Amino acid sequence: MNDGTTTRLTWLSSAAAAGMLLWISRTLLGLLVSYPIVLAIRASAMSNGPDGDAVLFQPGSLLLLELLRIGAPWLASALRVALLLALLCAISELVPLALALDLLRLPGRPLLERTRRALRVFPGFLALGAIALLVQAALLLAPSLLSAALKPALSSADERLRSLAPIVLIGLGLFACAGFGALLDIARATLLQREQRELPDRAGRGARAALAHALLCFRRQPFRVLASVYPSIAGGLLGFLCAAWLLLRQDPMMPTARALALAFGAHQLAVLFAIGWRVRWLAAALELSAEND
Amino acid sequence: MRRVTQDVLIGAVFSLLCALLSRALFFSTGAPPAPAAQPKAAEPAWPELAQSATKVASYEIEAKLDTEHHRIAGRETIHFVNRSSAALNELWFHLYLNAFKNDKTLFLRSPFGAGRSGDKAHEYGYVDVKKLTIVAGDGRDLWAERDRHSPDDPEDETDLRVPLPSPLEPGRTLDLELEFEDQLPELVERTGFVDNFHFMGQWFPKLARLLPSGAFAHFAFHAQSEFYADFGDYDVSLDVPRGFRVGATGSRVRESETPDRTRLSYHAENVHDFAWTAWDRFEARSERIAGTQVSVLYPPHQRQNAEAELASVRYALPHFNALYGAYPYPTLTLVHPPEAAANAGGMEYPTLITTGGPWYSTFGGTHVIDVVTTHELGHQWFYGLLASNEHSEPFLDEGFNSYAEAEALESRFGAGSVFGAFGLSVSSTALNRLFSAARGEDEKVNQGAAEFATFRSMGALVYSRTAIVLGTLARVYGSQRVNHALGVYTRKFRFQHPTTADFLGVMQSELDSQAVIALKQALTERGTVDYLVREISNAPISAAAGVFDGPSGREQKKPEAPRPAAEFASRVVVYRHGSLQFPVQIALGFEDGTKQLRHWDGSGFTFNVDNVGPSRLVSVNVDPEQRILLDDDRSNNWLSTGDSSAPLSRERALYAAQLLLGALGP
């Protein structure tokens, strides 16, 4: 086995470990986020029958709508709690993300060392996340405002143009959000790499400097940044659509246990597929950051 | 560079696959599954179909549309026959265009926008009658002697009385001539204009319906109410600017053109209203379906919607013909209004219906076009041919028609009759039940349209609850039987004005008395029902112990030593809340996996389900096939001692949370 193959295998095993780490953390946090919703469904008594909650998924949705009618107050409260939990969990998930980046950057280090580093970069990751949230909110708000401003001008236009214009504008907003997300990942990678190198300059290890560096990477290699993140975004969407398409074809009369196994398998494969492509992009983000640093 | 090319290629392949999958998931045009067999038209014991109505008021109208000022200059001759048993001293005219005259009319003055669309008028509309004379009379203008406002309502001019100069004896005819001028409002509800689009419903002075007693069924135009009129023949000439395409009640019999105007003549027999539309941007499709010439007028770029509407008629017209008696008119016109005039959509007139929906309505798995088209088509029976009083008994047309619509859509599309995509299907019955259960006890179904507290309440009760009442009967007593009963009703009262009593009379002869009692209670007495169970009890059976005096003397039996019981006595009590009574099935499940089905005729308020057997009772499900759609609360119909951890919901919720975290977080 030559050195190239060994390096490749080491990288692959690190990538697999990073992927598994992200999947496990997302699954555990997902269980936490979804728990209030499950409790609300159980509280509605709609799953207390001999067929459990399979009745909610019957063709025609007679009992699913009954759940929405009877359980609306609980479900609304549960949804609010779940969204709050999702926000907290998204923040917590920054630690496994830092660990995953660390695994991709420096394979073979002790877990304790990685964990310490991940916790050290956490405030920076959090600051970057807050900036991203604000920027992405603005990027989504802008098309809505633009659509509203264009409404009078489009009032006499073809109705297809009238209904498609806001969709296209929101699509552009989402595209810009995805682009900014890519910058954010490069900034995170920069932050982690600078932490690993233990730069003496504290300002150089800060979130602002990392974001400035990410912008520099984008200015220098815009096409490479966008091309590298493209499979990750498209892969995530593809996994989601494939799972939906597959489950659409399942027999609605299938026994509950089989239906459950099939749905769980398809959904988790979709999540793993998306995470796999994301890990590949994170490795590219580390490369981009290192090359330009 | 190689890496960049590779990434772009991978991304492009993924994107292409995403596009294909999205198309399969979201942009399906909702191709229906193979439709169920159509019901047979010729069933034994159908009443003979009437060929014609008893005509009371026939109209000849000449109307000239000024599309610049949105005015209509009209001249009208009414051939009226007093078919009542009393001499008439007065006539009642409905001038419903006056509903849009100002904000104080009965229609517009509700502060809550009580109308179907909740719309207020932006540009007001009205009808001015210039003159009303008796043909071949002394030329006296009877209009000058009219009442100035609707009864007990000085602000409203939609229901006006005109005294006759001399009594009109039973059986005598009277020909009246009117000159009138309409100012159309900017579209309110169904009537008016939006730019060059014009829709004319309730646009001409029209006589109220003459009842057999000699009274007129007259009422001011209320925002929640629809209409009621006598059958007759209509001959209408419409004069519109050249280039305007027209759709109207009846058949076009003549057409002539001058350099700047087009004159079209329409003839309709055995109808009770006349509506029309004119627009210079309409496109048209026409096709012969089940012997009827069906035309669709639709806005530019909505060919796909027009095709979906024709497909709906292709299915529903023969379906309704078979169930409710053949559609008797040679033409049917469908009008799909432009998006800006969406409020004109979803309405019925004799031989003309309006549909609606944006250009993308056929995408994404929704059947909105099919729902609207099928519903409005159904009105050709429940309104058109069975011309009930929509003001005082609105459930007779809207309610029965909602049932007919759901039945036809579900027979065509199955469980996804309202929506079917992305693994989720929503049926018309599920949606009707949702609205019905949410407001079922608020008011009674059988009351006048104006008596409902709100239009939402009326919608839930008149449309959805009536459909659910009939749906429950169909599931409990057999859909074939209930559909047959409805078919007898529609045939027996074709070209008539049936009432609730007429309907219940037919049901009495076609269904069980228990079903008719439930029907009456559900429709007229706010009847409700809720079957429920509270607990499951199991007790091991052991040999009886104690002191027993028998023929051989006193015997003492000691309790058996504890050991696994060989038999269990199990009991579950099923309760019935509410006044409605339906027979119901009860499914029992035992620990050893065996199942039993018990039957309760619904009498009394409790029913003990007892069982002695080798296994404990672990689950009970009252009405497992969900036949009693009227059941107020389905969540208390079952109990199970087993796992209620909702595994499928847990899995879906986990996946949704993972997706949310993926979008929100790292």
- Cβ-based contacts of A274 with chain B (< 8 Å): 662
Tell if the CB–CB gap between A237 and B430 is shorter than 8 Å. Answer: no
Cβ-nearest to A231 among B14, B640, B655: B14
Of the candidates B434, B436, B649, the residue with the CA atom closest to the CA atom of residue A46: B649
Q: How far is B610 from chain A (nearest CA, A)?
A: 18
A159 pLDDT above the threshold of 90 = no
In chain B, whose CA is at the least distance from the CA of A224? B4
Predicted local confidence at residue B37, as pLDDT: 62
Gap between the Cα atoms of B522 and B527, Å rounded = 4
Cβ-nearest to B429 among A62, A70, A241: A62
Gap between the Cα atoms of B203 and B187, Å rounded = 13
Please state, as a whole number, how many other Cβ atoms lie within 10 Å of the Cβ of residue B241: 16
Residue B645 touches chain A, beta carbons under 8 Å: yes
Gap between the Cα atoms of B313 and B370, Å rounded = 9
Burial of B286-319, coded b for 16+ CB within 10 Å and e otherwise, reads eeebbebebbbbbbeebebbbbbbbbbbebbbbb
In chain B, whose CA is at the least distance from the CA of A255? B648
Gap between the Cα atoms of B379 and B98, Å rounded = 25
Residue B286 touches chain A, beta carbons under 8 Å: no
Report, as an integer, the average pLDDT of B165-180. 97
Residue that is written with structure tokens 């003492």 in the block: B556
Taking the CA atoms of residue B433, residue B438, residue B441 and residue B447 in that order, the dihedral angle to the nearest 10 degrees is -70
Predicted local confidence at residue B31, as pLDDT: 44
- pLDDT tens, B566-598? 789 999 999 999 999 999 999 999 999 999 999
Report, as an integer, the average pLDDT of B421-447. 91
Q: How many domains are contained in chain A?
A: 1
Gap between the Cα atoms of B82 and B86, Å rounded = 8
Which residue of A39, A42, A44, A61 is the best one to mutate when testing the B interface, meaning the one whose CB has the most B CBs within 10 A? A61
- Give Cα B626 to chain centroid, integer Å: 22
- pLDDT tens, B598-632? 999 999 999 999 999 999 999 999 999 999 999 99
In chain B, whose CA is at the least distance from the CA of A97? B666
Contact B76, B204 (CB under 8 A): yes
- Cβ-based contacts of A51 with chain B (< 8 Å): 621
Question: Band of the pLDDT at B443, cuts 50, 70, 90?
Answer: very high
DSSP E strand stretches across B358-447:
419-421, 424-426
Q: Give B71's strand partners.
A: B66, B183
- The amino acid at residue B362 is T
Q: Would strands B546-550 and B530-541 be described as parallel, antiparallel, or unpaired?
A: unpaired
Rounded mean pLDDT of chain B?
Answer: 92
Predicted local confidence at residue B44, as pLDDT: 63
Rounded mean pLDDT of chain A?
Answer: 89
Contact B195, B62 (CB under 8 A): no
Sequence-ordered list of residues with C-beta below 8 angstroms from that of B242, at least 6 positions apart, any chain: B257, B258, B259, B260, B261, B262
- Cβ-based contacts of B619 with chain A (< 8 Å): 49-50
Predicted local confidence at residue B41, as pLDDT: 58
In chain B, whose CA is at the least distance from the CA of A181? B666
Predicted local confidence at residue B561, as pLDDT: 73
A178 to each of A172, A218, A232, B272, B538, how far by Cα in Å?
Answer: 10, 13, 10, 60, 60
Predicted local confidence at residue B118, as pLDDT: 58
Gap between the Cα atoms of B68 and B244, Å rounded = 13
Contact B369, B308 (CB under 8 A): yes
3-state SS, residue B309: helix
Predicted local confidence at residue B67, as pLDDT: 97
Q: How far is B119 from chain A (nearest CA, A)?
A: 19
- pLDDT tens, B330-355? 999 999 999 889 999 999 999 999 99
Sequence-ordered list of residues with C-beta below 8 angstroms from that of B495, at least 6 positions apart, any chain: B50, B52, B53, B54, B231, B270, B385, B387
Residue B427 touches chain A, beta carbons under 8 Å: yes
Question: Band of the pLDDT at B30, cuts 50, 70, 90?
Answer: very low
B439 to each of B460, B531, B652, how far by Cα in Å?
Answer: 6, 18, 30
B27 pLDDT above the threshold of 80 = no
Which residue of A23, A42, A53 is the best one to mutate when testing the B interface, meaning the one whose CB has the most B CBs within 10 A? A53
Predicted local confidence at residue A189, as pLDDT: 94
Predicted local confidence at residue B3, as pLDDT: 83
Predicted local confidence at residue B40, as pLDDT: 63
B565 pLDDT above the threshold of 80 = no
3-state helix, strand, coil in chain A (%, to 5): 85, 0, 15
- pLDDT tens, B398-409? 999 999 999 999
The percent of residues in chain B predicted with pLDDT above 90, rounded, is 80
Q: How far is B263 from chain A (nearest CA, A)?
A: 30
Gap between the Cα atoms of A188 and B583, Å rounded = 67
Please state, as a whole number, how many other Cβ atoms lie within 10 Å of the Cβ of residue A54: 21
Tell if the CB–CB gap between A159 and B589 is shorter than 8 Å. Answer: no
Region of poorest pLDDT, from A159-163, B65-69, B219-223, B474-478:
A159-163
Residue B368 host element (H or E): helix B368-378
B28 pLDDT above the threshold of 70 = no
Start-to-end CA span in chain A (Å): 32
Gap between the Cα atoms of B146 and B132, Å rounded = 10
B445 pLDDT above the threshold of 90 = yes
Q: What is the DSSP letter of B178?
A: E
3-state SS, residue A255: coil
Cβ-nearest to B17 among A41, A238, A274: A238
A77 pLDDT above the threshold of 80 = yes
B494 pLDDT above the threshold of 50 = yes
In chain A, whose CA is at the least distance from the CA of B417? A60
Tell if the CB–CB gap between A237 and B431 is shorter than 8 Å. Answer: no
Range with top average pLDDT, A156-160, B210-214, B565-569: B210-214
Phi, psi of B559 (to 5 degrees): -60, 145
Phi, psi of B75 (to 5 degrees): -135, 135
Q: How far is A249 from chain B (nearest CA, A)?
A: 8
Gap between the Cα atoms of B125 and B198, Å rounded = 13
- Cβ-based contacts of A163 with chain B (< 8 Å): 358-360
Structure tokens at B552: 């051989």
Judge whether A232 lies within some domain.
no
Tell if the CB–CB gap between B638 and A50 is shorter than 8 Å. Answer: yes
DSSP E strand stretches across chain A:
none
- Cβ-based contacts of A267 with chain B (< 8 Å): 651, 654-655, 658
Residue B24 touches chain A, beta carbons under 8 Å: yes
B261 pLDDT above the threshold of 90 = yes
Q: Maximum distance among all alpha carbons in chain A?
A: 70
Phi, psi of B98 (to 5 degrees): -70, -10
Please state, as a whole number, how many other Cβ atoms lie within 10 Å of the Cβ of residue A212: 12
Sequence-ordered list of residues with C-beta below 8 angstroms from that of B6, at least 6 positions apart, any chain: none
Predicted local confidence at residue B115, as pLDDT: 60
B562 pLDDT above the threshold of 80 = no
B560 pLDDT above the threshold of 90 = no
Predicted local confidence at residue B119, as pLDDT: 65
Cβ-nearest to B589 among A50, A57, A86: A50
Judge whether A287 lies within some domain.
no
Contact B54, B181 (CB under 8 A): no
Judge whether A7 lies within some domain.
yes
Predicted local confidence at residue A201, as pLDDT: 64
- pLDDT tens, A174-216? 989 988 999 999 999 999 988 887 666 665 678 889 999 999 9
Question: Band of the pLDDT at B559, cuts 50, 70, 90?
Answer: confident
Tell if the CB–CB gap between A231 and B10 is shorter than 8 Å. Answer: yes
Of the candidates B342, B647, B624, the residue with the CA atom closest to the CA atom of residue A264: B647
Contact A242, A203 (CB under 8 A): no
Size of interface A-B (CB pairs under 8 A): 237
Judge whether A42 lies within some domain.
yes
The percent of residues in chain A predicted with pLDDT above 70, rounded, is 96
3-state SS, residue B263: strand
Q: How far is A275 from chain B (nearest CA, A)?
A: 9
Find the length of chain A: 293
Q: What is the DSSP letter of A50?
A: T
Report, as an integer, the average pLDDT of B550-562. 81
Cβ-nearest to B415 among A60, A247, A271: A60
Predicted local confidence at residue B29, as pLDDT: 41
Judge whether A48 lies within some domain.
yes
Predicted local confidence at residue B112, as pLDDT: 61
3-state SS, residue A237: helix
Judge whether A255 lies within some domain.
no
Q: How far is B195 from chain A (nearest CA, A)?
A: 10
Question: Band of the pLDDT at B39, cuts 50, 70, 90?
Answer: low
B270 pLDDT above the threshold of 70 = yes
In chain B, whose CA is at the least distance from the CA of A58? B425
Region of poorest pLDDT, from A74-88, B22-36, B93-107, B228-242:
B22-36
Tell if the CB–CB gap between B301 and A159 is shorter than 8 Å. Answer: yes
Taking the CA atoms of residue B104, residue B195, residue B254 and residue B301 in that order, the dihedral angle to the nearest 10 degrees is -130
Phi, psi of B197 (to 5 degrees): -80, 130
Report, as an integer, the average pLDDT of B306-317. 97
Report, as an integer, the average pLDDT of A44-53. 90
Judge whether A10 lies within some domain.
yes
B370 pLDDT above the threshold of 90 = yes
3-state SS, residue B585: strand
3-state SS, residue A206: coil
Contact B75, B61 (CB under 8 A): yes
Phi, psi of A250 (to 5 degrees): -75, 150
- Give Cα B228 to chain centroid, integer Å: 17
Predicted local confidence at residue B544, as pLDDT: 80
Tell if the CB–CB gap between A244 and B422 is shorter than 8 Å. Answer: yes
Cβ-nearest to B661 among A29, A51, A241: A29
Report, as an integer, the average pLDDT of B494-505. 96
- Cβ-based contacts of B635 with chain A (< 8 Å): 44-46, 48, 66-67, 70
Which domain does A4 fall in, by range? 1-92
- Cβ-based contacts of B634 with chain A (< 8 Å): 46, 63, 66, 70
Question: Band of the pLDDT at A254, cuts 50, 70, 90?
Answer: confident
Residue that is written with structure tokens 């059976």 in the block: B541
- Cβ-based contacts of A260 with chain B (< 8 Å): 647-648, 651
- Give Cα A225 to chain centroid, integer Å: 18
Query: What residues 584-613 of chain B have any CB closer than 8 A to a CB of chain A?
Result: 587, 589
Judge whether A145 lies within some domain.
no
B190 to each of A40, A75, A277, B98, how far by Cα in Å?
Answer: 43, 38, 54, 14
Q: What is the DSSP letter of A202?
A: T
Query: What residues 325-364 of chain B have any CB closer than 8 A to a CB of chain A?
Result: 338-339, 358-360
In chain A, whose CA is at the least distance from the CA of B661? A90
Q: How far is B457 from chain A (nearest CA, A)?
A: 16
